[in-house]
């Protein structure tokens, strides 16, 4: 019996691609790099912020240093810029609110957010979209905490909930969610409506696969 459901945030609960892409371009402009088309940036979302920032850089920085040497600076700038723009266009996926309400009303099921996004940013989004009240806990990145695919965030959430991994499901849109769930000893439901490549996600062999938001109620509930 499922007693806890952990949800990724970006690409699973909310569509935040435009706000992320615009903030990446603001970061690039600050650092003297050429900006990129939003569509190019969308294709790089989902592998973690360091990979996203590196992919957005040109191969050689204007200072003559390899772009890879400036990733940490880019990440720091991005999070600072993005914090002021996390709700410019970000919205829940259609049907998410109703699905969460249905699941949170199911007997014995507790819901939690487990995201690689900084906890501060995640809370701003969930509070601003009036979703926080539907979750028993929210876990995001804080200094010193490894991010998915490491299972640390998931295990912290389950510890707070007092529920074992074997009675829990991780719902996400990327391979990092699947790997973290497996490392934590949880089942995983990947979704086909988010940022990940649907074909590759299916081929990875998750325990469940939700083509649509509405499928989550049937799969989990």
Running DSSP on this structure, what letter comes out for residue 60?
B
Confidence of residue 62 (pLDDT cuts 50, 70, 90): low
26 and 114 share one domain = no
Range of the domain at 62: 17-83
Q: Would you say residue 130 has pLDDT above 90?
A: yes
23 and 112 share one domain = no
H-helix segments, 129-207 = 152-161, 175-184, 198-203
Confidence of residue 59 (pLDDT cuts 50, 70, 90): confident
124 and 194 share one domain = yes
Structural domains counted in the chain:
2
188 and 148 share one domain = yes
Q: Would you say residue 131 has pLDDT above 90?
A: yes
- Of 28, 60, 83, the residue that ends a domain is 83
Task: Please tell me which residue in 8, 10, 177, 215 is annotated as part of the active site.
Answer: 8
Q: Would you say residue 10 has pLDDT above 80?
A: yes
The token pair that represents 205 in the structure block? 């062999």
99 and 126 share one domain = yes
User: What CA–CA distance (Å, rounded) separates 18 from 120?
Assistant: 19
73 and 8 share one domain = no
pTM of the predicted model, to two decimals?
0.94
User: What CA–CA distance (Å, rounded) separates 72 from 78?
Assistant: 10
113 and 126 share one domain = yes
Q: What is the CATH number of the domain that holds 62?
A: 1.10.150
Task: Identify whether 19 is a catalytic site residue.
Answer: no
- Of 83, 112, 140, the residue that ends a domain is 83
CB 184 within 8 A of CB 154: yes
Q: What is the pLDDT of residues 94-110, one digit of tens each?
A: 999 999 999 987 777 99
């Amino acid at each position: 019996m499922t007693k806890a459901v952990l949800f990724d945030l970006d690409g699973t609960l909310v569509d935040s691609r435009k706000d992320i892409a615009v903030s990446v371009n603001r970061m690039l402009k600050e650092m003297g790099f050429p900006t990129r088309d939003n569509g190019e940036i969308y294709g790089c979302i989902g592998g973690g912020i360091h990979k996203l920032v590196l992919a957005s850089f040109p191969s050689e920085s204007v200072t003559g240093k390899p772009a890879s040497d400036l990733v940490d600076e880019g990440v720091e700038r991005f999070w600072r810029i993005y914090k002021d723009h996390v709700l410019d266009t970000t919205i829940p996926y259609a049907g998410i609110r109703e699905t969460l309400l249905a699941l949170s009303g199911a007997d014995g099921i507790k819901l939690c957010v487990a995201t690689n996004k900084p906890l501060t940013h995640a809370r701003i989004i969930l509070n601003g979209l009036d979703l926080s009240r539907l979750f028993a806990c929210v876990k995001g990145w804080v200094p010193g905490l490894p991010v998915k695919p490491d299972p640390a965030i998931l295990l912290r959430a389950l510890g707070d909930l007092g529920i074992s991994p074997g009675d829990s499901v991780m719902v996400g849109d990327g391979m990092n969610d699947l790997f973290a769930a497996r490392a934590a000893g949880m089942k995983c439901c990947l979704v086909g409506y988010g940022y990940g490549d649907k074909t590759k996600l299916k081929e990875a062999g998750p325990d469940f696969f939700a083509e649509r938001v509405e499928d989550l109620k049937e799969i989990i509930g």
